Amino acid sequence: MNPLITVIIPIYNAEKYLINCIESVMNQTYKNTQILLVNDGSTDHSGQICDEYQKMDSRIKVFHKENGGVSSARNFAISKADGEYMCFVDADDEIEAHMLEELYKCIINNAADLSICGHKSVCIEKNDKIAVCYHICTSFQGSIQQFLTVIDNFLASESIQGPCGKLFRTEIIKNKNILFPQELSFGEDTVFVYRYLTHCIRIGSIDRCLYFYMKRSIDTLSTTFRTDRMKIYLYLIRLLENLLHEYHIDKKHMIEKIICGAAISCIGELYNNRVELISIKRRTIIKDVLLDERVLASFRKQLSNNIQNWIVSIFTNLRWFGVIDGYFYIKEYTRNNLTAAFALIRKCISSTE
């Protein structure tokens, strides 16, 4: 018989999507599974749904706990895992029927400590329109050192930053006490994966999208801005640098590019139409982000990469943060209105068909 795989599903107020998630795990072609449903203090009917499915399938174990966040729920489940291998699935996502089987074969065929697959981002709008973006990771089999030399490809396809769409060895997680940090407001997924990688000898990956991230516009709009966002990005980047340094791999250009991208992401978040910030507050945050020594140095070295880096670097050196604020305001305003215009055009075209 194939070894037991533990599938961990942390759950908080996911009643709308939970059934699809659970059934996609139950219906895997790889049958020897332990499915841990951790109800993290849900106030909707998620807990009842979990209990009903536990009655239907002996592989399912349900735990109800006080709300402590997704990291707390995952860490709790890790302590209860009996499988030789471990997999994580979010309660609002789904997985392809062959995912566990393919990830297991990848580990066995390559004597690997970690197997990775690509994923689909399935964006569902309010009008039920669906857009699918494919994040295909590179097919790879080799040592951790070889993997780190091509990690750029996995970062670009967003295939390494989180625990989903992967199969881990439970022995490594438990023996090395690898847990999700509960003190971070985001980025705990990446910390977990980077810490796990430090104990890997071989890695395998599949160039197929077997995990489905279900992104629903009504649920993903944030009304708050995390003031610690850039600080956490820089912490995650230091973890990656430490990992690369351990194997004497030089990726300075990649790191600089990541830092610039993180800063742009932080600033862009200020113009989310659900985040209400006056211009003075925006400019203060922009100043704090861009005057960090590492950020400023990275933009200076990435001047030729694109016009946006040039604008940010030049006007940061001049301390003209109002100009930077104006640039991003116009950029986001234009993008949002073009998106609305294209949506209206599509609606008009479809109504005439």
Which pair of structure tokens corresponds to residue 44?
A: 């909707």
Question: Which tens digits make up the pLDDT trace of 242-269?
Answer: 999 999 999 999 999 999 999 999 998 8
CA–CA dist 112, 142 (Å, integer): 8
Query: For residue 125, what pLDDT is reported?
Result: 72
Question: Which tens digits make up the pLDDT trace of 52-70?
Answer: 999 999 999 999 999 999 9
Q: CB of 5 within 8 A of CB of 87?
A: yes
H or E segment at 324?
A: helix 321-352
Share of the chain above pLDDT 90, in %: 75
Contacts of 228 (CB under 8 A, 6+ apart): 185
Higher pLDDT among residues 135 and 306, named by residue: 135
Q: Residue 41: pLDDT above 90? A: yes
Q: Which of 3-12, 31-40, 131-140 has the lowest mean pLDDT?
A: 131-140
Which whole number is the average pLDDT over 81-89?
98
Question: Which tens digits make up the pLDDT trace of 282-333?
Answer: 899 999 999 999 999 999 888 777 888 899 999 999 999 999 999 998 988 8
Cα angle: 12, vertex 18, 22; to 5 degrees: 120
Cα angle: 345, vertex 346, 350; to 5 degrees: 120
Share of the chain above pLDDT 70, in %: 91
CA–CA dist 112, 135 (Å, integer): 22
Tell me, rounded to whole angstroms, the distance of Cα 194 from its chain centroid. 13
Q: Which of 185-189, 215-219, 262-266, 267-271 has the lowest mean pLDDT?
A: 215-219
Query: For residue 277, what pLDDT is reported?
Result: 76
C-alpha distances (whole Å) from 60 to each of 37, 45, 55, 165, 350 are: 7, 18, 8, 20, 45
Q: Residue 43: pLDDT above 80? A: yes
Residue 193 pLDDT grade (very low, low, confident, very high; cuts 50, 70, 90): very high
Query: For residue 220, what pLDDT is reported?
Result: 47
- Determine the 3-state secondary structure of 143 from DSSP: strand
> Which residue ranges form the domains of the chain, and what is each CATH number?
5-220 (3.90.550.10), 229-352 (no CATH)
Tell me, rounded to whole angstroms, the distance of Cα 233 from its chain centroid. 13
Which pair of structure tokens corresponds to residue 212?
A: 């489905």
